[in-house]
Structure 1
Amino acid sequence: MGLCFSRKAVKTKTSNRISHHSAVTGGGSSNRWTRIRSTKKDKLEDSVIHERALAAAILFQQHLQNGGDVQFDRSTSLRCPPSNGRKQAALPRSSSSRARSLTDPLLQPQQLLNQDVKLDDLETNHFVLVHGGGFGAWCWYKTISLLEEGGYRVTAIDLTGSGIHSFDSNSITSLSQYVEPLTGFLEKLVDTEKVILVGHDFGGTCISSAMELFPHKVSKAVFVAATMLTSEQSTLDMLSQKADSDDLMRQAQIFRYANGNTHPPTAIELDKSLLRDLLFNQSPAKDVSLACVSMRPIPFAPVLEKLSLSDKNYGSVRRFYIETPEDNAISITLQETMINKSPPERIFRLKGSDHSPFFSKPQALHKLLVEISKIP
């Protein structure tokens, strides 16, 4: 999940806990700024979600036992023309009209497909999903299933030391090392293929780094409750802005010092007893259980690293932001602050979503991703 802490806490050598807060800044351009609503109601039985959660947990444990390093390559991508880079004056707001609930029932597959999506007309139908800090590719299992049922290709990435990637999070010393599974994947794509990058939480920083390196391979970038930084800004810089007011995050965050207490922290763990309130306050209980046995420490060094983002590369990629108003990890206030600093092309809001919409509002999130893929 996203990381936030005060600089004072980072310098403390004797304390194991630090303050944590999340924020999101995004930039982008378009001829019109709109906040989009998720309006349709979803109707698949909650038992389907629970069955998939159980199946995903079993699959995850099997991969762990096999010692494998797995990528879930499931989707293809379509292209969308780049924006013209001009900023607009107004940001009209809208929010979801969906009733708030603890689960997000899914529609029947035939209803999902009835969204006027002509995959052959898209620039790309390949989504690449990038998890947040502590998460892994496993967290996208509902999104993967829904997108595939709609005919999309999906690749869910395990970043270094995350998910079932066999590497010690405490040994990660740079952002480039952390995002290598993502940049390695993009590097291997043929020059004519583009993808839609989707980043959640700290994954926003990761896809920003990839956009700077491979702008010609990214059709669009979608930030889901994610960190969207400006150039020469670190994730710590952004997340520290509201850290003093984030008591829950401060309580949940635990520093790990693999090199000893006299050296800087190497990783951060989250108190599992606080995960539900912090990350999953609107999510089904079985998804929370899956997360509790699957989340791993968050490497600390990448959080400190400042991004160098250029208008020519990063700025050439169309960006979209999906807000999560019931978010206890990256507050909606912080999301708005970052959006206002560097406005994306369009802003979407998932009413009733916690920090993890792939669990709490999977159908609404899916429909927004499909909608974004269709924007010409």
Structure 2
Amino acid sequence: MGICLSTKSPPRKNHSKRATNPSGTTNSSNRWSRVRSSSIKREKFDDSVIHEHAIAAALLFQQHQQQNVGVLPFDRSTSLRHLPGAGNSKRQPPLPRSSSTRPRSVTDPVVPPQNLLNQDVNLDELEVSHIVLVPGGGFGAWCWYKTIALLEECKFKVTAIDLAGSGIDLVDTNNIKSLSQYVAPLTDFLEKLEDGEKVILVGHDFGGACISYAMELFPSKIAKAVFISASMLKSGQSTLEMFSQKENTNDLMRQAQKFLYTNGNNLPPTAIDLDKMLLKDLLFNHSPSKDVALASVSMRPIPFPPVLEKLSLSDSNYGSVRRFYIQTPEDNAIPITLQESMINESPPEKVFRLKGSDHSPFFSKPQALHKLLVEIAKIT
């Protein structure tokens, strides 16, 4: 989660109250009523349609088996998979690449799955084929499930990290006292890499500050760093300071935040939780409802002390790692204006834009995000 806080002290009383969304329950109830009332009427029609679709699918399958085609052109889920051997079929035209001189709008291309996934990736020609995915605040490794599947189909080695107190990590979020403690699972992983082995670090949201911290410690083990709608800070800057520069620009974020005070109301907050009723509008305004449901039961509070910590970044370490930024223009958590501000203050090597993406492109634009990550891996 991107943190967008007021510089004023957080409220000490009634901190457990959640923002309400009166219309949310009514809409859900009405929708459920409509579905139930119409389900009986549509039952016979649905049965006949399903039967016709099954016959059509069987005919297509038989036809493609006769033609010895490895990939079926069915409309499937966003985590599209292709069968082994598809890479040996006739070479497809390459997908358009982004301009190297300006940001480019990239959307999920309307092309057959094999064109999208089988992008002529020759891992032997890549400097690095190991991609490490770092989640944002409140998220865990679970949020990358579509990206993991797509990258692995292209034979990339993929590691998704659960930071301390996130995902299935057992640390209590309220007990995290520093950024180094929060990032420990990532730094431990990098420390154990063999000499000469490099990875591409990908950070989302607050994960941008986390990969920046790792870049300072292990520059020789990181070939490239990719910031996806992420906090890309300057030396001496904290995530809180970055987001406080844009006061009064994100009321939705402030409405969604709920501070936790496990050490008592007279001490600073220990973590920030998010109102589950506002998650969709804040983080997933263009994401599938199934992914929103997954997030609503999987997200955990964000530890507060790491948000306050200022990064110490040097040109010789952090500055030696190639950086790339992926913008999300329909983002309600880290607005595009704030993303552009971070880019202008600390320009990366190249900027990409995922047209139509909300704050969580791994849900809302998984195929386009996958395409960009492959493209970045190819850049020499």
Q: Distance in 2 between matches of 1:184 and 1:112?
A: 34
Instruction: Give the superposition deviation at 1:91.
Output: 6.4
Alpha-carbon deviations, 1:25-51, whole Å to 9, x = none?
xxxxxxxxxxxxxxxxxx987752499
Match of 1:94 among 104, 108, 112: 104
What is the aligned-residue RMSD (CA, Å)? 2.2
Match of 1:255 among 236, 259, 271: 259
Match of 2:238 among 226, 234, 237: 234
1:65 is aligned to: none
Work out whether 1:370 is the aligned partner of 2:374: yes
Q: Distance in 1 between matches of 2:75 and 2:283?
A: 20
In 2, are the aligned partners of 1:358 and 1:365 still within 8 Å (CA)?
A: yes
Instruction: Give the superposition deviation at 1:145.
Output: 0.1
Work out whether 1:272 is the aligned partner of 2:283: no
Q: Quick one: higher RCO (CA 8 Å, sep 6+), 1 or 2?
A: 1
- Secondary structure of the residue that 1:347 maps to in structure 2? strand
Q: Distance in 2 between matches of 1:50 and 1:124?
A: 23
Match of 2:128 among 107, 124, 130: 124
For structure 2, the residue ranges without an aligned partner over 5 or more in a row are: 18-71, 82-99
Moved over 2 A (4+): 12-18, 43-52, 90-94, 104-114
Higher deviation after alignment, 105-114 or 164-173: 105-114
Matches within 5 A, 1:33-112: 48-49=77-78, 92-96=102-106, 98=107, 110-112=114-116
Q: Distance in 2 between matches of 1:363 and 1:51?
A: 9
Structure 2 CA distance for partners of 1:199 and 1:5, relative to 1, 3 Å: same
In 1, are the aligned partners of 2:109 and 2:368 still within 8 Å (CA)?
A: no
Q: Distance in 2 between matches of 1:45 and 1:321?
A: 33
2:54 is aligned to: none
Match of 1:343 among 337, 347, 353: 347
Structure 2 CA distance for partners of 1:205 and 1:312, relative to 1, 3 Å: same
Match of 2:159 among 152, 155, 158: 155
Instruction: Give the superposition deviation at 1:241.
Output: 1.3
Counterpart code for 2:201? L
In 2, are the aligned partners of 1:17 and 1:251 still within 8 Å (CA)?
A: no
In 2, are the aligned partners of 1:44 and 1:106 still within 8 Å (CA)?
A: no
In 1, are the aligned partners of 2:358 and 2:364 still within 8 Å (CA)?
A: yes
Instruction: Give the superposition deviation at 1:13.
Output: 2.9
2:249 is aligned to: 245
Alpha-carbon deviations, 1:202-234, whole Å to 9, x = none?
000000000000000000000000000000000
Structure 2 CA distance for partners of 1:113 and 1:249, relative to 1, 3 Å: closer
In 2, are the aligned partners of 1:325 and 1:352 still within 8 Å (CA)?
A: yes
Structure 2 CA distance for partners of 1:227 and 1:46, relative to 1, 3 Å: farther
Q: Distance in 1 between matches of 2:75 and 2:213?
A: 37
Q: Distance in 2 between matches of 1:342 and 1:105?
A: 30
Q: Distance in 2 between matches of 1:371 and 1:16?
A: 45
Q: Distance in 2 between matches of 1:92 and 1:49?
A: 28
Q: Distance in 2 between matches of 1:283 and 1:354?
A: 7
Q: Distance in 1 between matches of 2:358 and 2:75?
A: 18
1:312 is aligned to: 316
Alpha-carbon deviations, 1:39-79, whole Å to 9, x = none?
xxxx9877524999xxxxxxxxxxxxxxxxxxxxxxxxxxx
Structure 1 length normalisation: TM-score?
0.78
In 1, are the aligned partners of 2:285 and 2:358 still within 8 Å (CA)?
A: yes
Structure 2 CA distance for partners of 1:15 and 1:245, relative to 1, 3 Å: farther
Choose 1 or 2 for highest CA Rg: 2
2:48 is aligned to: none
- Secondary structure of the residue that 1:167 maps to in structure 2? coil
Structure 2 CA distance for partners of 1:189 and 1:109, relative to 1, 3 Å: farther
Structure 2 CA distance for partners of 1:44 and 1:245, relative to 1, 3 Å: farther
In 1, are the aligned partners of 2:80 and 2:113 still within 8 Å (CA)?
A: no
Q: Distance in 2 between matches of 1:45 and 1:371?
A: 25
Counterpart code for 1:5? L
Q: Distance in 1 between matches of 2:363 and 2:264?
A: 36
Alpha-carbon deviations, 1:90-136, whole Å to 9, x = none?
9634323x3xxxxx699765323432321001111000000000000
2:3 is aligned to: 3
Matches within 5 A, 1:282-301: 282-301=286-305
Structure 2 length normalisation: TM-score?
0.77
In 1, are the aligned partners of 2:229 and 2:339 still within 8 Å (CA)?
A: yes
Instruction: Give the superposition deviation at 1:244.
Output: 1.8
Q: Distance in 2 between matches of 1:186 and 1:109?
A: 34
Work out whether 1:181 is the aligned partner of 2:210: no
Alpha-carbon deviations, 1:279-327, whole Å to 9, x = none?
0000000000000000000000000000000000000000000000000
In 2, are the aligned partners of 1:45 and 1:105 still within 8 Å (CA)?
A: no
Q: Distance in 2 between matches of 1:45 and 1:210?
A: 42
1:204 is aligned to: 208
Work out whether 1:332 is the aligned partner of 2:336: yes
Structure 2 CA distance for partners of 1:353 and 1:316, relative to 1, 3 Å: same
Structure 2 CA distance for partners of 1:50 and 1:153, relative to 1, 3 Å: closer
- Secondary structure of the residue that 1:8 maps to in structure 2? coil
Q: Distance in 2 between matches of 1:341 and 1:113?
A: 35
For structure 1, the residue ranges without an aligned partner over 5 or more in a row are: 19-42, 53-89, 99-103
Q: Distance in 2 between matches of 1:251 and 1:332?
A: 19
